[in-house]
Homo-oligomer: A and B are copies of this chain.
Amino acid sequence: MSSNSFGKLFTVTTFGESHGPAIGCVIDGCPPGLAISEEEFRQDLDRRATGKSRHTSQRREADDVEILSGMYEGKTTGTPIALLIRNTDQRSKDYGDIASTFRPGHADYTYWQKYGIRDPRGGGRSSARETTMRVAAAVVAKKWLAERHGVRVRGYLAQLGSLAPSDFDWNAVEQNPFFWPCAEQVPELEKAMDALRKSGDSVGARVSVVAEGVPPGWGEPIYGKLDGDLASALMSINAVKGVEIGDGFAAVSQHGSEHRDEMRLDGFTSNHAGGILGGISTGQAVVASIALKPTSSILIPGRSVNLAGEPVDVVTKGRHDPCVGIRATPIAEAMMALVLMDHALRHRAQCGDVGIVAPRIP
């Protein structure tokens, strides 16, 4: 499979650069007959939109999705669905002065080493702009998963720098610009963000995603495990440096008698495994978390080199986004949804539509 395509049976191919004419995607393998409107795309894209609050990057994009193919009279036809978003806010001059330098912590140097060509326009293909199309494609996946299996995928910001939620409420998550699960702490977060903005620095973040309603049996041994596919899907999000399933790294210091999730007739007694055993879903909530590094696009000068091989100091001008992790919540949800969708189809390919009728723990 090509490296700009994601998924085996529900395949999403994305294209486009941050400051080129457009970004887009082609969704291949969607079952026919799914009703979906352009309005549904708009809602999720707005949620991801960078201009949502003063705490995220100031780029303001219309992000109007045009459906180019694969639908007829409001329903999917089974043929590829192409989505297109024109880049209206290109402002490539913002980036012009760094065309000849390599920004520390960015993909400038590695793309140049790989391809021998430097597309300085806003990070080109390595920009988080590309993730817009993942969110768009996931609208289709989420709708099918909800209608067909009652699956619901939700995420939240689980840490901002060293701040952790002091309480947890799903209802709070959608009511603040941080996707933070504790309403009381929001003023504290705003203060922390303002301080960062003032200092010109940035912090990392932790985002968690939870999928409820996933039936047991999704996931394929050995190299198509549900957790393996989640790991690559989530690691492919910009700035992600770590992925956990269930308890993740906390499991290192746990004991077996503590970690194993016991089973009773009325269900599992805990979910340390994050809903996956042996790469296959257990029927519990599928839980994953990611670590996002602090962005390197900061106002504090950093030492680097330029194309001429000279030492330089680099300062990122233009937009400054002290915590890119905030924006990652809808993207992480999208990747979880795309992985689940793909495995739903893979499962029914091998095991049939109704699946195996085995007694289940509720």
Contact = CB atoms under 8 A, between A and B. Distances in A.
Nearest to A324: B256
Contact of A231 (B26, B231, B250, B356): B231
A329 interface: no
Interface in A34-81: 66-70, 72, 75, 77-81
Given A241-B244, A262-B302, 20 more contacts: A1-B1, A3-B29, A4-B28, A4-B224, A16-B80, A23-B69, A78-B115, A110-B282, A113-B280, A113-B356, A116-B351, A202-B255, A229-B232, A244-B249, A250-B291, A260-B298, A262-B304, A264-B305, A345-B350, A353-B354
Nearest to A28: B2
A4 B114 contact: no
Contacts of A292: 251-252
Interface residues of A, number: 161
A76 B290 CA distance: 33
Contacts of A14: 80, 222
A11 B5 contact: yes
30 contacts: A1-B5, A1-B8, A1-B11, A4-B223, A5-B13, A32-B351, A33-B116, A72-B124, A77-B119, A77-B124, A78-B115, A79-B124, A79-B221, A113-B217, A201-B255, A201-B257, A203-B254, A223-B232, A228-B235, A230-B235, A232-B232, A241-B246, A241-B248, A241-B251, A241-B273, A242-B249, A249-B249, A252-B325, A254-B294, A260-B298
